[in-house]
Amino acid sequence: MCIKFIGKINNDDVLGQTSGIIICGAGSMLDKLVYHLKERKLYNRVRAIADNDPAKWGTEINGVVVQSYNELVEKYSDLDYIVYNYYSKDIFYQLVKEKINNIHLIRNL
């Protein structure tokens, strides 16, 4: 099963049970997600931010490097992937295609 959780981030009791977290998307909704991860003391488990925009690759946001999805799914296929952004549906299908099993689809914060 690829989805571990769908819903509000504060109700996600399984987030952080793997050895790390990948945030999907480096867009405008990222700051809200980072805030909630810090509140739950989970931000220190974030290994990278995945984004499809090559212009963002290699940049650093809140101390975490933005990388391509392809690079991250090869290195970190067993981590938790948090999807919370405007392209959630597309990103979800992209992760399923890559056989990522720990997807957390956050619908609201």
- Could you report the per-residue pLDDT of 9-32, keeping only the tens digit for each? 989 999 989 999 999 999 999 999
Q: Cα 73 vs. chain centroid, distance in angstroms?
A: 11
pTM for the predicted model, two decimal places? 0.94
DSSP assigned state of 55: G
Class of domain 3-108: alpha beta
Residue 57 contacts residue 67 (beta carbons within 8 Å): yes
DSSP assigned state of 19: S
How does pLDDT run across 47-101, given as a tens digit for each residue? 999 999 999 999 999 999 999 999 999 999 999 999 999 899 999 999 999 999 9
Residue 28: C-alpha distances to residues 78, 89, 96 (Å): 26, 16, 24
Query: Where are the domains positioned within the chain?
Result: 3-108
Q: How many helices (H) and strands (E) does the chain have?
A: 3, 7
